[in-house]
Amino acid sequence: MAAQVRDVVEQYVKLVASGPTDDIVQLYAADAVVEDPVGSEPRKGHESIREMYAALEHMQNKTTELLDIKVAGKHAAVSFTLVGGFGDQRMTLSPIDIMEFDDEGKIVLMRAYWGPDNMAMGPA
């Protein structure tokens, strides 16, 4: 299971940068829940999760860097950095995502831990 979890996490981080949105959504179980960031209204199901990731389609020159993965059974803690642009602004976001997986290797719960101190905006 650990290898499968690690593979899905690696796909996830790569797809956050490259898309397409539907490929990200397919990593989730149909009734998955996403809370991004923690404290925001949780999104449940593919349609709601798709809306969240669709916002990334407008980001230009996206890159991601996987910093660390810790796997424990059907759970993973993932540290990565997302860099991209919106017009003349460049954003760098460094979340820690906590994920839970089902027996098929689909994400059933993802909670993203980040706040203002983990996001930097500047000129592109």
Q: Is 53 a known active-site residue?
A: no
pTM given for the model: 0.94
Q: Which domain holds residue 102?
A: 2-123
Taking the C-alpha atoms of residue 60 and residue 80, their distance in angstroms, rounded to an integer, is 18
pLDDT tens-place string over residues 92-119: 999 999 999 999 999 999 999 999 999 9
What is the CATH number for 100?
Answer: 3.10.450.50
Mean pLDDT for 35-39 is: 97
Catalytic residue among 22, 28, 31, 36: 36
- DSSP secondary structure string for all residues of 20-53: -HHHHHTTEEEEEEEESSTTSPPEESHHHHHHHH
State the distance between the two ends of the chain, measured CA to CA, in whole angstroms.
Answer: 40
Count of the separate structural domains present in the chain: 1
Q: Is 12 a known active-site residue?
A: yes
Catalytic residue among 12, 28, 53, 97: 12
